[in-house]
Amino acid sequence: MTKKISFLILFCLMALTAFGQNYRTRIMDFENPGSRRIRNFEDAKHWFYRSLPEKTMTLRTEGIERIQIRSFSIENLRKPQIFILVGKDRIPFELSLNQRLDGYYIYNNIEFEIPEGAEKIELLCYQRSIYLRAYEMEKIIPKVKPVTVPNRVINAHAGMIDISHNSTTSEYYTFNSTQAFRFTHNNAKDGIVYVRARLTDRTLPKFSLWHNGKKVEEYEFGLSRSTKYSAQGVNYLTIGKKIDLPANDGSSQYELRAESEHMFMARPYLLKNR
């Protein structure tokens, strides 16, 4: 296969629309156009040009990878055709009719890639009723949306309960001997957690704090009852404990496990230290 034939086949393949690619178009100007006609598009009015008799129209293509040629004719031509000239190579393109609109014979767009290193190309059309317009096709690179990691993620709990204090109510997460309370703090956010327990008898409620799978400490409540806090369905509520969570260097998983047969209630808070 000769270099000439290979070049022609390559350009024929380039003329096909690239599948799966999204482009935006930008108008290009011919360096030596002849007469012109205006045509309406959805977005604006664009000038279309025809060359001077037997002359080419030049496009500067340095830094451009892909071109689209739009065209129409003011006559119903039997074999509309244009030529693309790249250096000494002359590539013909047959124009196929897309529709007739407002007296114009509108052809399907031609798309092709500019050979690497080609600083210019030329368009040649012998049929004087055909008008052309060139557009640079720029690939649309989707903007990568930054992934926002939430400061806190609740991973597991045994249910929710409202604890009231004066006229305010706060939601607490419950945990017990069969279901631990697990949550994750991200973005190097440190935190604390308030914990209370339901008193049922003279047994002391006990729970433990775990950090990234390792046990940190065990805590025990006394039998003192809170007189300021209450929860629906809970007759006796312990005085709360404020627990400082281990430092979070980036992302940390915390876990509260019941070490006794009691229902515990916990509410984590983030600190504004970072």
Give the residue-averaged pLDDT of 180-187.
Answer: 96
Q: In angstroms, rounded to a whole number, what is the distance separating the alpha carbons of residues 49 and 125?
A: 11
Q: Which domains does the chain have, with CATH numbers?
A: 3-139 (2.60.120), 152-270 (2.60.120)
pLDDT in tens, 63-94: 999 999 999 999 999 999 999 999 889 999 99
Q: How many CA atoms lie within 13 A of 196 on its CB side?
A: 27
Task: Dump pLDDT digits (tens) for 202-229.
Answer: 999 999 999 999 999 999 999 999 989 9
Closest CA to 126 of 92, 96, 76: 92
* CB hemisphere CA count around 41 (13 angstroms): 11
Vertex 222: Cα angle to 219 and 224 (nearest 5): 140
- pLDDT band per the 50, 70, 90 thresholds, residue 16: very low
pLDDT at 13: 43
pLDDT in tens, 230-259: 998 899 999 999 999 999 999 999 999 999
Look at residue 20 in the predicted model and tell me its pLDDT. Answer: 40
Mean residue pLDDT of the chain comes to: 89
Counting beta carbons within 10 angstroms of the beta carbon of residue 6, is it exposed (0 to 12), middle (13 to 18) or buried (19 or more)? exposed
pLDDT at residue 146 in the model: 87
**pLDDT tens-digit map of 37-57:** 988 776 678 899 998 988 999
Look at residue 42 in the predicted model and tell me its pLDDT. Answer: 65
Confidence of residue 18 (pLDDT cuts 50, 70, 90): very low
Find all residues with CB under 8 Å of 214, minimum gap 6, and list them.
Answer: none
Name the nearest CA neighbour of 86 among 126, 59, 64.
Answer: 59
- Residue 92's pLDDT is 94
**Among 181, 206, 218, 189, which Cα is nearest to 261's?**
206
CA 16-19-24 angle, to 5 degrees, is 90
User: Does residue 1 surpass a pLDDT of 50?
Assistant: no
Strand partners, 252: 185
Residue 11 in this model has a pLDDT that exceeds 80: no
